[in-house]
Amino acid sequence: MLYSKSFIFTLREDPKTAECISHKLLLKGSYLFMVSSGIYSYLPLGFRVLENVSNIIRKHMNSKGAEELLMSALQPIEIWQKTGRHEVLKDVMFKFKDRKNRNLCLGPTHEEEITEIVRKYVSSYKQLPRILYQIQTKFRDEIRPRFGVVRSCEFIMKDAYSFDIDENGLNENYNKMFSAYKDIFKECGLEFITTEADSGAMGGSASHEFMVPAEIGEDILCECEKCGKHFKETENCPHCATKLKEKRMIEIGHVFKLGTKYSAAQEALYLDNSGKRKPTIMGCYGIGVSRVLAAIVETNYDEKGIIWPKSVTPFDATLVCLDEKIKSEAISLGEKLEKTGLKILIDERSEGAGVKFNDAYLIGSPYMVIMGKNYVSYGKIDLEERKTKEKKSFSEQELISFLKEAYNK
């Protein structure tokens, strides 16, 4: 992809509205566009990362037998009245009437809607268990949207729901999702912590949160530096009595054992093998997809910009051409690399070296490929690893082999 043809318009100055590192770098690098406070558009660079994160999630959810669907964002209030959550969530719900006087909301979550779907189609134990999931935009009327896509009024979530005939089934699916979450966050390059959590507005018997330590986090966990364990309470460590230290965390995932709260209220019943009607046993499992993106940036950057993990980067390498005379050779090398399946941002613009380097660092591809003096004089192509700043010099063939190997192409 040629830089001059890409919708990339980095900012020279730090945006004044930026409230934290990820917000600043994502706006500055033209990943995000702020439409209004708490409302963002993902520009092509941001959309690439979002798709990469979503596809990692899909891979691991599918591997556990979960099936993807896409539910409506518009929901009738009646389904919320069945569980009483139109009251519980009334402050954060965007509610309105359509011209036929129907009471509608923009879904802040989908337990009620998925339960309606399963109620309609599942009536026998023979049709269970099931795990269904979606990646979709959710809406919350945030009184204080903050930190860019960390806390916004419109955000992208992966939400999964399991349906079982008994507690054993629920436990099995809960463990499957728990293990998928660990694989997902690891593959996204996140260092995370899991902790037992309150079920809050979801209800149910047990839940765990997945957290990423970051200064802007709105959750606080207490860490025992000796055992490395984390607790909700600020009592000394229950294991070794060491004084605990408070750490700020961003919540990126949450899993809940819901039990029959929704299935009983909405009559999502199945016939068991003795012909008795019972409510299905549910679990729900959320990942804040847009938050994952912000959490990756909050924990992968330096003074020059973002340092993307290879798994989610919008481009595998930025190829910087520093001499107009070798522009066509640079473009041809970029195209050769793209033919192997690598995603290359070819910076062939007529800009100075300083501007090109600044943009390459800010955009944050894991590798920068440099074609300049060394190429003109000796036919050598330089490569700099974004994270380690390590530099190497290659012939064209060596460079192609190196990048192919780095990305398993």
- Interface residues with Zn ion (CB under 5 A) are 224, 226-227, 237, 239-240, 242
Is the CB of 237 or the CB of 331 nearer to Zn ion?
Answer: 237
Tokens 């008994």 belong to residue: 166
C-alpha triplet 107, 110, 111: angle, nearest 5°: 140
Smallest distance from Zn ion to CB 209, Å: 20
With residue 35 as reference, give the H or E element that holds it: strand 32-36
Beta strands in 72-214 (DSSP E): 74-76, 94-97, 103-106, 130-139, 154-164, 193-196, 206-213
Closest CA to 137 of 153, 119, 122, 150: 153
Is the CB of 239 or the CB of 409 nearer to Zn ion?
Answer: 239
Is the CB of 239 or the CB of 391 nearer to Zn ion?
Answer: 239
Is the CB of 223 or the CB of 348 nearer to Zn ion?
Answer: 223
Smallest distance from Zn ion to CB 239, Å: 4
Closest CA to 399 of 368, 364, 354: 368
Cβ-in-10-Å burial (0-12, 13-18, 19+) of 236 comes to middle
Is the CB of 54 or the CB of 242 nearer to Zn ion?
Answer: 242
Smallest distance from Zn ion to CB 207, Å: 23
Main-chain phi, psi angles of 321, to 5 degrees: -100, 120
Smallest distance from Zn ion to CB 299, Å: 24
Handedness of CA 283, 289, 291, 293 (dihedral sign): positive
Smallest distance from Zn ion to CB 238, Å: 8
Q: List, edge to edge, every strand of the sheet that includes 94-97.
A: 74-76, 103-106, 94-97
Is the CB of 35 or the CB of 227 nearer to Zn ion?
Answer: 227
Is the CB of 127 or the CB of 242 nearer to Zn ion?
Answer: 242
Tokens 């009184």 belong to residue: 143
Smallest distance from Zn ion to CB 242, Å: 5
C-alpha triplet 261, 263, 269: angle, nearest 5°: 145
Cα 29 from Cα 365, distance rounded (Å): 12
Smallest distance from Zn ion to CB 254, Å: 25
